[in-house]
Chain A
C-alpha cells in the first residue's frame, strides 16, 4: 500500500458532495475549491515513500473510512480565556451561542468566514488561499476544497487590539470516525497589532481535524500567535499554518502540541519583504504511543529579514517526534539572520526522535545557524540537586519543568500558559513542586 498513493476514496466522494452543495460563493472561491479538489484527488493520501512523510505513517488512517462530521453541541466552560473575544466552532461550524464576539474594539473584524466569503470584494474572498501551496499539502488542499466555515480576523491599518482573540475549535465524535476542516484567515493591516489564540480540543471519539490557517501581515503589523492543540488521544490532527509577511512586520508564533494520537503540523512562513521578523517556536509534550511531526518551511525572499525558531520536545513512553526544519534563503535575501534550534528531552528508553535541519542558502552574506539535540536529563545536574537534599523524582521534575520553561514562560496569554503548566504538572511525578519554582 505504501508504494503508491493510498486510496483517498471516502474523502474524495465527500468533497464532491460538499462542493456540489455550496451556494452563493464568488467565482474565484469556487474555482479555488475545484482546483484544490483536483490537487487532493491527484495527490491522494501521503505515504512514507514520500520524503515529507517518511517518518509519519498514515496507514491506519487510510484503512479507516471517515465521513464529514455532523453539527453537534459542545460544552466549553473550562476552556475559555477570560476577557478574550471569542469565536467557537464545533465540528467546523460556528456555534453562535458559545461565541463572544460582540463589542469588538474599533478596527477589528471577527466573524465567521462563511458569511464573509459571500462578499466577493471583501478581504476574505480576495485573499483566502493565497498563502497555501496546494501541491505540497494534500490535506490543506482537502481543507480548501471542503471547509464549511472558520474564522476571519481582519485588523484595519493601525488597529491595536489589547484583549486576546480566542478561536476555539471543538471536535465532537459520534461513535464513527469523522473529519472536519476548520479554516482561519488572519489579515493584519499595516501597523496593526493583536494576539490570536488558535485552540483545538475534542470530546472523544475517533476523529481527524484538518485545520488550515493563513496569517497575512501587512507592513509593520505585529501578530502574537499561539497554536494550542490538546485534542484527545483518539484524534488525529493534521494542520497547515501558512504565513506571509510584508516589510518590517513581526510574527511571534508558538505551537503547543500536547494532544492527539497523531499530530502533524506544517508551518510555511514566507518573509516576503525587507525587515520582516518571524519567531516560530514550539513545544511538544508527548507520551505513550503519541506521534508528533513538525515540518517547518521558512523562506527568506527579501534582504534584512530574521527568523528564529526554537522547538523543544519532551518525550515519554514509546512516543515519537519528527522535526524537519527547512530554511530557504533566496539569492536576493542578503543579510538574512536565521537561527533554528530543536532540542529534545527523552524521559524514557522507548521514545524516539528524528530531527532533520535542512538549510538551502543561495545568498552569500547571511547568518544561518541550526542545532539539534536529543538527550536525557543531565545526570550531573540531577546529582547536584540530590546532593543538596532533593529526592530524585523532584530533581528530575524540576529539571524537566525548567527545560520547558523557556517556551512556556514566553507564551503571551496567561490562561494558555496555565493550561500548559497543568499538562506539565500532570505528567511529572513531582510536577506541583516543580511548578512552584517558576
Chain B
C-alpha cells in the first residue's frame, strides 16, 4: 500500500530524514519509535503533504503511484489521514459541520453522493460513542476549549468518521492519562481491519500495550536503525534508546 524508498527530506536546508526505506502492506500496523528529534513527526508531516518539507531524494509510492504529486486535500480524499500531535483549534467552525464537509469532499472524490444531514448525524453519534466523545463537543467549534485528552479523542473520532485506508497517528498518546489512552487505543483497535493500515508514531512503548503493532521500527537521526516485532518495543522500554548506538543495524532497515 505504502512504500518509502531511500526517502530524504529537508526543512529550511537542514536534512531531517536521511534515507528511509519502509513498506507497509494492507491491514498492517507499524509503530515508529525513536527519541525526540529523530524525525518521527517529519515523517508524519511528509506523508500528510505538509508543504514546507522538501523531498531531496527517494520516493513515496501509495498504491504504486507517486504520492508527492498530490496536495494535502487530495491525499485525504485518497484515504490518508493524519491524527495531529497538536490538533488545531478552529474558532467558529463547528466540529460536526467541519466533519460533514470533509466527509462529503471525500465522498465526492469517490463519485459518491453527499450524505444527508440525518444519515450524517446518525453516523456521527455512532462514532462518537466509539471514543466516548461527549456529544456536547460535536456542536462546539473544532477543538476550541477542548482538554488535551478531548482533542486527541476528537482526532480518533474524525478518523472513525472519515474511515481512511492509511491512518498516521502522530504521538496521539502524548499527554494522555491511562484511561484516555485506553479509550484512544480501543477506538483505533475497533477500526483495524484487513485493508486499513496504521502508522503509529510514539515516543513510548506504553501505547503499544494497547495497540499491538505488527512491526516496530526505531528511527534515530533520520534513519531506521532497527526493525522488528513487538519484542523490540519492549526491549526499548527496558533499555532505552542508548543501546542501539552500538548495536548493529538490523538487516533490511
Contacts and interface: CB of A to CB of B under 8 A. Distances in A.
Q: State yes or no: do A and B come from one complex.
A: yes
Interface of A: 378, 380-381, 383-392, 394, 398-399, 401-403, 405-406, 433, 436-438
B124 to A, nearest CB: 14
Contacts of B77: 389
In this complex, the member of A380, A381, A433, A437 whose beta carbon has the largest number of chain B beta carbons within 10 angstroms is: A437
Contact of A402 (B50, B93, B99, B158): B93
A349 B109 CA distance: 32
In this complex, the member of A388, A394, A402 whose beta carbon has the largest number of chain B beta carbons within 10 angstroms is: A388
A401 B92 contact: yes
Please name the 8 residue pairs, one residue from A and one from B, whose CB atoms are nearest each other, closest first. A402-B92, A389-B76, A388-B102, A384-B88, A389-B105, A386-B72, A437-B97, A389-B102
Interface string B19-60: 000000000000000000000000000001111000000000
A420 B48 CA distance: 36
Contacts of A388: 76, 81, 98-99, 102, 158, 162
A109 to B, nearest CB: 40
B106 A389 contact: yes
A406 B76 CA distance: 30
Contacts of A406: 91-92
A394 B76 CA distance: 15
Given A389-B76, A389-B162, A405 B102 contact: no
A248 B101 CA distance: 45
A398 B162 contact: no
Given A433-B101, A436-B97, A437-B97, A387 B92 contact: no
Contacts of B102: 385, 388-390
Contacts of A399: 90, 93
B82 interface: yes
Interface string B140-174: 01000000000000000010001000000000000
B91 A402 contact: yes
A298 B72 CA distance: 47
Nearest to B78: A389
Nearest to B51: A383
9 contacts: A381-B90, A384-B88, A386-B49, A388-B162, A398-B98, A399-B93, A401-B92, A437-B97, A437-B101
B228 interface: no
Contacts of B89: 381
A108 to B, nearest CB: 36
Nearest to B89: A381
Contact of A437 (B72, B93, B106, B158): B93
A433 B104 CA distance: 12
Contacts of A378: 88
A392 B73 contact: yes
Contacts of B48: 387
Interface of B: 48-51, 71-73, 75-77, 81-82, 84, 87-94, 97-99, 101-103, 105-106, 109, 141, 158, 162
Contacts of B101: 389-390, 394, 398, 433, 437
B93 A386 contact: no
B92 A386 contact: no
A387 B167 CA distance: 12
A412 B70 CA distance: 45
A206 B94 CA distance: 43
Contacts of B75: 387
Given A384-B84, A388-B98, A437-B101, A405 B92 contact: yes
Contacts of B81: 387-388
Contacts of A384: 84, 87-88, 90
A390 B97 CA distance: 12
Contacts of A398: 90, 93, 98, 101
A401 B92 CA distance: 8
Contacts of B141: 402
Contact of B92 (A380, A433, A438): A438
Contacts of B109: 389
A381 B142 CA distance: 11
B49 A387 contact: yes
Given A392-B73, A436-B97, A437-B98, A387 B90 contact: no
Given A381-B88, A388-B102, 19 more contacts: A378-B88, A381-B89, A385-B98, A386-B71, A387-B49, A387-B72, A387-B73, A387-B76, A387-B81, A388-B81, A389-B77, A389-B106, A389-B162, A402-B91, A403-B92, A405-B92, A437-B93, A437-B97, A437-B98
Nearest to A405: B92
A386 to B, nearest CB: 4
Contact of B73 (A381, A386, A401, A437): A386
A433 B97 CA distance: 10
B98 A391 contact: no
B98 A389 contact: no
Contacts of A381: 88-90
B72 A383 contact: yes
Contacts of A405: 92
A206 B212 CA distance: 73
Contacts of B99: 388
Contacts of B162: 388-389
A300 B51 CA distance: 50
Nearest to A437: B97
A389 B90 contact: no
A394 B77 CA distance: 14
Contacts of B106: 389
Nearest to B80: A387
A383 B50 contact: yes
Given A388-B98, A398-B93, A437-B94, A380 B88 contact: yes
Nearest to B49: A387
Nearest to B141: A402
A88 B24 CA distance: 70
Contacts of B76: 386-389
A434 B99 CA distance: 13
A402 B98 contact: no
A402 B90 contact: yes
A383 B99 CA distance: 15
